[in-house]
Chains A and B, each alone.
Chain A
């Protein structure tokens, strides 16, 4: 949230240029890279999207949502059902999944977001468990035996879907702090009563952040379902999606624009390396990492970098104090 209110147009232009070059590079990768690398990157984009999405509610609003996977599941099942039963084209089914999740988030958020702290965290987790049971017991979802989606032709489209989602989620995260709603969320995160006495009504903005987060989880779920072609309740309501996203956000820096994406890239890459080495090592590493994180960098890497920079002479800051 604490982004500079006045950046020079030169640094902004440079940042924009770097971003465009990066995006173009990522867009060209599938033309030259191996299938293996494309798959790895798609998996990373998935978590960049999830972490950036969780940051909306967990970072900007400061509401620890432990059940974001509920919306991933809703997106996956809505997409699957509409493609298999209504024979809808994938993009349309995906959009419907996003809308469904937004509706569900608005409804459940208006109730749950009145709770604070641990109460909200537990309630949101409960909501996810309920949704998993609903999916496991309905007929239209195929119940416990799951559901098969049509098989897509080629893998590359999924790369671009996930890349688009990841960029859209980062873009939303970059936009929010500049909006009136972003100011409301920053105030709510800081202190809800203090926010109220300067005229901010907390609930609508919390619901907005929750709905935005749900949208990206649902879209990611829809793409995931079509990508893996088979879904069942334990797969798409796996709490691990949410937990990994949370750890990535905390690792990178909650409430920052690029922290969650950075956290996702670093941790997912490590995850892939360690899983290839040993499954046991992988679990030990992530358990240990959470402990280290909470103890030494409770605000994430971004804050560590910032703290490090504070000890160095910052040319921009010197200029500013000289001018003032």
Chain B
């Protein structure tokens, strides 16, 4: 059984087909890359899966159960976690408390606030944010906010993790650190969908890559195959991957 199955999912904004009849499958433990130019519908697809938007047509199936009327909170409790492209922290709370919220409200929540805070510390260590655990979230820099986004998502103990550009704006060393973190998450059996413009991260993490263009899926396959695909080169890459270097 697939962890996530999207069947002909479509989202219209007025007459704009933001997501156009997209089919997508993702297995537990699989780390899949989702790439495409700006405005291709990647973030909208993540919104549809996490429940912040409702599809105009098509169905989403999570772990064998169709996701129909469930709102985002119910989906989070079932184990669907996501990060936001523009980090959305709980600004007045401390970093540790931000992460504890997820531990307190997931499907099988931490039994008490102190336990949730202790767990938050473990997650912060995992993503390399321990030094900022006591900082008020709104004082963080953007790279740290991206780490916090990831920490909040991981504290949900997700079965499916949707990463919307968590690596943007990070230094190459920081990207390497996060690649290791995400690889580790996938190795624990979590299905991961990685939206990323940092192609090195996608190539390093994902054996399979899906490409969206104007809302449509134009490629879905093994990494080497996809980056050699002429349609992908024309729509997104510009030059064959590796050629510029």
What is A's interface to B at a CB cutoff of 8 Å?
1-2, 4-6, 178-180, 183-184, 186-187, 189-191, 193-202, 255, 320, 324
Contacts and interface: CB of A to CB of B under 8 A. Distances in A.
4 closest A-B pairs by beta carbon, nearest first, are A190-B90, A199-B105, A194-B88, A198-B102
Interface string B174-203: 000000000000000000000000000000
20 contacts: A1-B92, A2-B93, A5-B96, A178-B113, A179-B113, A183-B93, A183-B101, A183-B113, A184-B105, A186-B93, A187-B93, A193-B52, A196-B76, A197-B51, A197-B73, A198-B101, A198-B152, A199-B109, A201-B73, A255-B92
Nearest to B131: A324
The size class of the interface chain B forms with chain A is 35 or more
Nearest to A202: B73
A196 B101 contact: no
A184 B113 CA distance: 12
Nearest to A200: B105
A198 B76 contact: yes
A180 B113 contact: yes
A190 B137 contact: yes
B43 interface: no
Contacts, number: 107
A243 to B, nearest CB: 23
Interface stretch (B22-30, B77-85, B206-214): B77-85
A207 to B, nearest CB: 15
A5 B137 CA distance: 14
Given A198-B76, A198-B152, A191 B88 contact: yes
Best-buried of B50, B71, B77, B90 by chain A (most CB within 10 Å)? B90
Nearest to A62: B92
B6 interface: no
Nearest to A181: B104
Best-buried of B73, B96, B153 by chain A (most CB within 10 Å)? B73
Contacts of A180: 104, 113
Contact of A194 (B51, B84, B113, B130): B84
Best-buried of A4, A195, A320 by chain B (most CB within 10 Å)? A195
A6 B134 CA distance: 9
A5 B82 contact: no
Given A183-B113, A194-B84, A5 B52 contact: no
Nearest to A317: B134
Best-buried of A1, A2, A180 by chain B (most CB within 10 Å)? A2
Nearest to A60: B92
Nearest to A201: B73
B76 A187 contact: no
A194 B73 contact: no
Interface in B48-103: 50-52, 71-73, 75-77, 81-82, 84, 88-94, 96-98, 100-102
Given A179-B113, A196-B76, A5 B97 contact: yes
Interface string B103-115: 0111101000100
A1 B93 contact: yes
